[in-house]
Amino acid sequence: MKKIINGVESLLEESLNGFAKAHEDIIEFNHQPHFVSRKQKAESGKVVLISGGGSGHEPLHTGLVGKGMLDAACPGQIFTSPTPDQMLAAAEAVDNSSGVLFIVKNYAGDVMNFEIAAEMLDCDHETVLVCDDVSLPKDHSTGRRGVAGTLIVEKIVGAAAEAGATLSECKALGDRVNNVTASMGVALTSCTVPALGQPTFDIGANEIEMGVGIHGERGREPMDLTSASNIVDHLTNAIDQDLNPQQGQKVLLHINGFGATPLMELYLMYDLAAHYWQQRGVEVVRSLVGNYTTSLDMAGASITLTLLDDELIELWDAPVHTANLRWGC
Amino acid sequence: MKKIINGVESLLEESLNGFAKAHEDIIEFNHQPHFVSRKQKAESGKVVLISGGGSGHEPLHTGLVGKGMLDAACPGQIFTSPTPDQMLAAAEAVDNSSGVLFIVKNYAGDVMNFEIAAEMLDCDHETVLVCDDVSLPKDHSTGRRGVAGTLIVEKIVGAAAEAGATLSECKALGDRVNNVTASMGVALTSCTVPALGQPTFDIGANEIEMGVGIHGERGREPMDLTSASNIVDHLTNAIDQDLNPQQGQKVLLHINGFGATPLMELYLMYDLAAHYWQQRGVEVVRSLVGNYTTSLDMAGASITLTLLDDELIELWDAPVHTANLRWGC
């Protein structure tokens, strides 16, 4: 295993220390228990948004804390859920007496820990469960996984909360965005979790893993390495079957790198995916291309589509000022 | 070789097509010859900044075209200099009759091609040569290589040009920033250039390449894989010996990922490097952490330090609106 680290035990703490130093104008890092919150607390009356999950997906979620998006994020150990004490401490630190919205990716550990925290919270609260990964069928026993669409939920609901939406409005909006968002990814290599010290899964030199999860979970099927056009068609067809957008539908197209795939390849995928939707009569009106929901050092990428209306476009465009997503301010 | 591409020949064109589609609000892509320029041309009277170089380092340089930074960028094939016709066409497209400043990384091919273009330009022009890589000695036969410090030169001079600096002022400022900027990188793996189809250089499973260049050029020495602290000390000591900042000196600290290194590790490096400078009595007042000057899918990172004064801080902070660097607007 080749990593720029001092040790498996200290990696998360040292990394968060660096993150906090580099962005001390935007965020604060609480050490015991771990959470990251806005340096400048939101004004009274605003619903606060808290997310979290295993580390190793940066900039999700810590890099998305700031005005217009999250109020706090709780990082667990790598690919491991944070614990309820983190969520409770974060909620206590940022609560504005207007309600707490948890945004949770659908993984058993995350769901359980956020549920426990929710039960212990003595303020109004709601949870939005993100499950945008269409590599699994809709009726999968534990539901679909939450992947790169999470950022889109966080951005749009974050803007609504900033604009004064109530807790129930934020909850309804988050569920709505989740329902019109679909993602699917492909891995060319496994990632290597430091504590494990070796690749999470085996993959042949001429093989790709179609429908991979962001922790290297096996997806739909391993396939022979094929052209970018075939890869993008495969991913986009799955999304198309799930969302089935109407002619003239406006959409946000997000190409997300898993960490080790060059930007050149991500933009090439964008070109192919945008072409697909154009041929389908679907109008790509917003885009996001880059490494946002990563899987450590995995090579590969995912495609996410969100169906937009004027309200969602306005919320997407609203100013956001976080460490790793910033526009309009 | 595992890449999400359709073919070696079409990769650059398809990738630039995707880039242009994803950022059509900011840039325009000219196909014959290849260059990217601002969608909204700078106002009359502004010195125009043009950079370029081999592709494979994205977001450098195309992702840095926009208000407050470059007016145009000329992408060559992967790790191959662009040609004079690209620079001339770009200059013709963006020229404002107030002079053209070329910002060129110090590589033989880039230098030669930009020199030829400069000779053929029939307007006022100057060139800033960036040579911030301290892995080579100052008296190296072809001079030091230009690496991640290039972005800093482009940002600061871009802000000055936007504020009305003349061509000679922009040239002097660019040279000044280059002189107070020093970088050094380390590779954990080689990158794989698609046309070559295999890793550029061999590196042992327990080896790192200290002082690597952004095309995988051999650096100072291969070393045994060691802790992040040792790696950062090695890089930072080399920078320290070169720049020798005074006590109380304000600096910008930039941790640049080469493409396949997780953000967690880059922030951990930031923590260690920031600590080093703090101990040295040097004040880190600005930071930039992320993948900005990449080497395709190379694992590794570089550290860049720029000595700042109030003028440079103000120019660094000035609004910038490009595809991949954006703040203040």
Its ipTM equals 0.97
Indicate if A125 belongs to the active site. no
Report the candidate in A93, A91, A62, A94 with the shortest Cα–Cα distance to residue A322: A62
Closest listed residue to residue B193, CA positions, set B286, B78, B115: B78
CB contact under 8 A, A265 and B55: no
Q: Which residue of B has its CA nearest to A229?
A: B6
How close A321 comes to chain B (CA, Å)?
9
Residue A261: closest C-alpha in chain B: B297
Determine how many CB atoms are found less than 10 A away from the CB of residue A197. Answer: 10
Which chain B residue has the Cα nearest residue A62?
B264
The single-letter DSSP state of residue A199 is B
Among A193, A267, A289, A317, which would you mutate to test the B interface (most chain B Cβ atoms within 10 Å of its Cβ)?
Answer: A267
B57 carries an active-site annotation: yes
Positions of chain B with pLDDT under 50:
none
Residue of B18, B56, B208 lying closest to A270 (CB–CB): B18
pLDDT at residue number A138: 84
Cβ contact, residue pair B297, A231, below 8 Å = no
Quote the crossing angle between the two packed helices B149-162 and B310-317, to the nearest 10°.
90
- Superfamily of domain B181-316 in CATH is Dihydroxyacetone kinase; domain 2 (3.30.1180.20)
Residues from chain A that touch B216, judged by Cβ atoms under 8 A, are none
Chain B hits for A215, Cβ within 8 Å: none
CA-CA distances (angstroms) from residue A32 to A36, A38, A39, A102? 11, 16, 17, 20
Mean pLDDT by 10 residues, chain A (329 residues): 96 98 98 97 94 98 98 98 98 95 98 98 96 92 94 98 98 98 97 95 94 91 94 98 97 98 98 98 98 98 98 98 94
In this structure, are residues A176 and A132 in contact, taking their beta carbons and an 8 Å threshold?
no
Q: What is the DSSP string of A126-180?
A: EEEEE--BTTS-TT-TT-PPP-THHHHHHHHHHHHHHTT--HHHHHHHHHHHHHT
Q: Which of B3, B78, B265 sits opposite A3 (nearest CB)?
A: B265
Bin A239: left if φ > 0, else alpha if -120 < ψ < 50, else beta: alpha
Nearest CA in chain A to B62: A264
How is chain A split into domains, by residue range?
Answer: 12-180, 181-316
Please give the pLDDT value at position B219: 80
**CA proximity to B318, closest of B173, B126, B130:** B173
Q: Which CATH superfamily is B12-180 part of?
A: Dihydroxyacetone kinase; domain 1 (3.40.50.10440)
How is residue B114 written in tokens? 């930009």
Which chain B positions have a beta carbon within 8 Å of A18's beta carbon? 266-272, 274, 289
Residue-wise pLDDT tens digits, B57-74: 999 999 999 999 999 999
User: Which amino acid is located at B150 in the chain?
Assistant: T
Q: Report CA-CA distances (Å) from B321 to A270, B292, B326.
A: 21, 15, 5
Task: Look at residues A61, A40, A65 and name the one whose alpha carbon lies nearest to residue A52.
Answer: A61
Per-residue pLDDT, A203: 94
Q: Rounded distance, CA B23 to CA A165, Å? A: 30
Tally the C-alpha atoms within 13 A of residue A297's C-alpha that lie toward its C-beta: 25
Closest partner CB to B270 (pick from A18, A263, A326): A18
Chain B residues whose beta carbon lies within 8 Å of the beta carbon of residue A262: 56, 58, 259, 294, 296-297
In chain B the beta strands, taken as DSSP E runs, fall at 27-30, 35-38, 48-55, 66-67, 72-78, 100-105, 125-130, 181-187, 207-210, 221-224, 250-257, 283-290, 300-308, 320-322, 326-327
Catalytic residue, from B125, B215, B234, B254: name it: B215
Out of A22, A78, A300, name the one closest to residue B289 (CB): A22
